[in-house]
Amino acid sequence: MSKDNLPPLDPQKGSWDEEAISRRRFLEIGFWVATGAAGLVVGGAGTRFLVGDSLKPKPEQWVKVGEVADLLAGQVHKAIYTVRTYDAWREAEETGLIYCFSDDSAEYTVLDATCSHLGCNVHWQEETSKFACPCHNGAFTREGEVISGPPPAPLRRLQTKIENGVLLALV
């Protein structure tokens, strides 16, 4: 409000404060502050609902590959595992395939059988000594390196440990 729009004021009461906020402006600011606070509360609860526990770190899951005595050196061994997985809303069982080999029966290499191209399971071909992906003719060496085809990365190498004569892999 400009000084010209203000009603006359008794000189004994002082003068109009032109910097003071009007009632209308006060209510507008109050409305937008309350709306913003309500939006943050609803938005925060909605985001927490949508995200769930997906940002929590997943616990380590070690799976049994096999008895060390049964995993002969120089051969590629296949192992199927099942783990329990949790996402934001449900618990499920996930089955996977891994391959294991050793040259000296002392140190083992374990590879995840999931192709880095589209996620198909690769298969070990003894006659050609390579892993082959049936989806798009991808091929990998015994160590998991890409030989040919569209896979952009090698097979994932898993961390291993031996406990009580059993080879375990971290999936």
pLDDT (tens digit per residue) in 20-67: 778 888 999 999 999 999 999 998 888 887 877 767 777 788 999 989
- Co-location of 112 and 75 in the same domain: yes
Residue 67's contacts (CB-CB under 8 Å, 6 or more residues apart) are 165, 166, 167
Name the strands in the sheet holding 160-163, side by side, starting at the edge strand that comes first in the sequence: 62-67, 166-170, 160-163
Q: How many domains does the chain have?
A: 2
pTM as predicted: 0.66
Residue 77 sits in a domain whose CATH number is 2.102.10.10
Residue 77's contacts (CB-CB under 8 Å, 6 or more residues apart) are 65, 66, 70, 71, 99, 100, 101
**In this predicted model, which residue has the larger pLDDT, 129 or 8?**
129
- Co-location of 112 and 133 in the same domain: yes
* The dihedral sign for the CA sequence 21, 24, 29, 33: positive
State the Cα–Cα distance between residues 124 and 115, nearest whole angstrom. 12
The answer to the question of residue 105 being in a domain is yes
Domain containing 29 equals 3-51
The answer to the question of residue 56 being in a domain is no
Instruction: Tell me how many degrees the CA angle 159-107-105 measures, rounded to the nearest 5.
Output: 135
End-to-end CA distance of the chain: 70
Q: What is the pLDDT of residue 25?
A: 86
Tell me whether strands 130-132 and 139-140 are parallel, antiparallel or unpaired: antiparallel
Q: What is the pLDDT of residue 3?
A: 60
Instruction: Name the helix (H) or strand (E) containing 42.
Output: helix 23-51
| In contact, 57 and 161? CB cutoff 8 Å | no
- Co-location of 104 and 39 in the same domain: no
The answer to the question of residue 95 being in a domain is yes
- Co-location of 36 and 86 in the same domain: no
State the Cα–Cα distance between residues 38 and 26, nearest whole angstrom. 18
**In this predicted model, which residue has the larger pLDDT, 10 or 115?**
115
Q: What is the pLDDT of residue 8?
A: 72
- Co-location of 131 and 162 in the same domain: yes
- Co-location of 38 and 66 in the same domain: no
State the Cα–Cα distance between residues 18 and 96, nearest whole angstrom. 74
The answer to the question of residue 75 being in a domain is yes
| In contact, 141 and 133? CB cutoff 8 Å | no
- Co-location of 25 and 87 in the same domain: no
